[in-house]
Every structure is written in C-alpha cells, then in structure tokens.
Amino acid sequence: MLVDDNLTNLTMGKNMLKSFYEVYPLTSGKKLFEMLENVTPDLILLDIEMPEMNGYDVIKALKSDEHFREIPVIFLTAKSGDDNELEGLCLGAIDYVQKPFSAPLLLKRIENHLLITEQKRELKNYNDNLEELVNLKTSQIMELQVAVMGTVAEMVEFRDHSTGGHVDRTIKYLEILVDGLLDERIYSDELKGLDLRFLILSAQLHDVGKIAISDTILKKPGRLTAEEFEEMKTHTTIGAEAIARIGEHTAGHSFLHHAKIIAHTHHEKWDGTGYPLGLKGAEIPLEGRLMAIADVYDALISMRPYKPPLSADDAARIVKEGRGVHFDPLLVDIFEKLSGKFAKVSGEIYRPAPETAAAINAAVESPSVSGAWRQPQPAIRRRVPAFFGGTCAG
C-alpha cells in the first residue's frame, strides 16, 4: 500500500511499482485503516507529512494493533536529517527513504525488505513446528516413562500379592485429597510449587523399594517380628535411592522428584514416631503427608495376611483418630469431608474378597499352578491422565 496526500506523488509511485507489485494508492492514514479492514499488504510505503494524521501517528497506530504490527513500513519523505530518520526507525519503520528517490534504488530496497519479511515468516513457522514436534516427543517420552514405571509398580504389587489394586486406588485417593486442598485453598503456597499432575501419578512408585524385601517378610501370614519390621522399613530408603538413580540417568524430572519424596517419606508420622527419618509435623514433605493417609486408608480396607479387610466406615474412623498423631490434622479435616469419595474408590477398583485373596495366596505358594493369575485383573486399569493422551493396561 502506498500512502501519500500528494496525488502527483501517488501517481508517480503507482506507475513505478505497478509492473512489479499490486499497488493500493491511498491519500490518508484514515483511508489506509479502512483498506486494512479488507486487505493485508506485504508492505506499506508511508509519507510522513500529511494533514490530520501524519506518518508518525499512522505508524504508532499500526504498531499498537496486534493485527497490523507485523506489516513492514517504509517511510517516504522529503524531511531530511538524522533526527527525523532516527525517529521514524525508532517508531518501528524498517527503512527511511528520502524524496526525491531513485526508482531502481527504491525497488531494490522493497525487494530486500520483502525477502527479509518472508524469511522471518518462514523462520517463525519453522520454530512453531519445532516447538510442536518437541512437545509431541516430550509427551511420548513421558507416556513411555509412566508406562514403564507403572509396570514396575505392578511387579511390586504382584509380588506383594495381598494388596490387589492398592497402587491404582492410592493414586485415586491422592487425587481426591489434592483436589480437596485446592478447593479449600489449604496449603496453597506449597501446592503452587509442586507439579500436581506428576505428584499424583508418581504415587504409584511409593512401595517400589519392596522389590528388595525378602518373600518371607513380604508374604508372612502374620505380624512381623521386630527384626523383620526393621527390614520392612528399609523399603522406603531403598525405593528412594532406586528412584534417585533413575533420576541421575534421565537429567531428573518432577515425576521422579515427587516419586522419590513419596517413596522416602510415606511412613513418616505427624508426631515424629514414623520411619525412616522420624520427621515431625511440617518437616515431613507434603507429598509424604498426603501419601500416608492414602496408604493407611487402603491398607485398612484391604485384606492382609494378618488381618481381614475393614469397612470403609471403620477405616475412615481410624484415619480420623490419627489426626495430629499419625496424620497432618489439616489433611485429616479434608479427608473427613471427602471420605465418601474414598469409600467409592475402595469399592470400584479391584480389591480381592477375603476368600479370593486366600485362594491367590495358596495358588502362589503352589509350584504346580501356572502363572496365569499374575496377568492383570480385568478390573484393574491404570488410567493415564488425559494430558498423556491415552490409557495403558494396569
């Protein structure tokens, strides 16, 4: 577009350019903006000295509008002097050409500026596509990582076969608690600094350290001795160390960061009598305090070799009794409000009945029984959150 209030200049300019470009001659800034409603030009040649709206006013209006600010502007003017040229360039013009101008020179400058603009556009498209590609690849890597970690968590769960569905349920419990905290605006500052998607998902690795615990302890059909309990306690530090080692090989990720904290601290107690560190109150990371409630609630409603499953009501009562002793008081307050959701999850995600659990235990101990039962139960499906774009069998 060519904008000049002088008709002679407009005619001359149009004649000079029309063999090479489609030219829109316009006599004022007002007419330019009317034309921009319908046409987006590759370039604007703009006179400075015009009545009503001068060239500086026009370029200021163009640059302040997101629809027009990328259109390159060249000032064409009889005004001379470094100050005028500097002002024009500072306002966002890409060039400043003094009248009278040489036609071949102006044409060459226009050609160069259009080429630069096109290259900038191509570079932007390339960067946009590159960003999209990187996001896609990152998402695929994360999906793979989560799937691998989920499989590891299931291997632990299948070994500790009395806890069917434990991993899936604890992820859901954690999600319910985190949603409750967000709704009630409790621990907002702490939550702000955490990657909640990965915090919830990383809960599946909380007992990964049980891989290193002997079968005689893990499957013992009765209470553990003090010595056995000491060995069982090490699943927290072993799990945290194993996750830390993975982190060393993967440049770290918030998923592994949260997983390590949860594995390490999910058996700490609010009153300082937990393990492995004996942390007290807010010394225990929020991830560990959240997981403690999810883990204990699920242990209570589940069949274990040494105890029958409790009802959801009894499990909720015991969690409430642990307020300020075993558990963070504020988190128990949230749990109380949401215990109905916990009960729903405990009923929906696979939990073997006492007789089924006993049968599984017997089958595992029998060398003649095939490993078919180790296949994931149809009811156990680990849902990968929507941001990973899919599901993987649990």
Contacts to Fe ion by CB under 5 A:
207
CA atoms within 13 A on the CB side of 292: 32
Q: Compute the least distance from the CB of residue 340 to Fe ion, in Å.
A: 25
5 vs 207, beta carbon nearer Fe ion = 207
Q: Which residues, in sequence order, are bridge partners of residue 96?
A: 75
Q: Which residue has the tokens 């026009």?
A: 58
User: Closest Cα partner for 58 from 38, 37, 41, 75?
Assistant: 75
Contact indicator for 296, 322 with CB cutoff of 8 Å: yes
Q: Which residue has the tokens 């440049």?
A: 251
Give me 164's structure tokens. Answer: 């069917």
Question: Cis bond leading into 100, ω under 30°?
Answer: yes
**DSSP codes of every residue in 218-237:** HT-SSPPPHHHHHHHHHHHH
User: Closest Cα partner for 97 from 117, 119, 115, 112?
Assistant: 112
Q: Compute the least distance from the CB of residue 235 to Fe ion, in Å.
A: 6
266 vs 351, beta carbon nearer Fe ion = 266
Give me 334's structure tokens. Answer: 């949230």
Q: Compute the least distance from the CB of residue 128 to Fe ion, in Å.
A: 45
Taking CB atoms, the residue at the shortest distance from Fe ion is 207
Q: Compute the least distance from the CB of residue 236 to Fe ion, in Å.
A: 7
Q: Compute the least distance from the CB of residue 264 to Fe ion, in Å.
A: 10
44 vs 293, beta carbon nearer Fe ion = 293
The amino acid that residue 296 corresponds to is V
85 vs 207, beta carbon nearer Fe ion = 207
72 vs 210, beta carbon nearer Fe ion = 210
Return the DSSP state at 204.
G
Q: Compute the least distance from the CB of residue 206 to Fe ion, in Å.
A: 6
**DSSP codes of every residue in 283-307:** GS-HHHHHHHHHHHHHHHHS-BTTB
62 vs 264, beta carbon nearer Fe ion = 264
Instruction: Find the angle CA(276)-CA(278)-CA(280) to the nearest 5 degrees.
Output: 140
85 vs 298, beta carbon nearer Fe ion = 298
Q: Compute the least distance from the CB of residue 299 to Fe ion, in Å.
A: 9
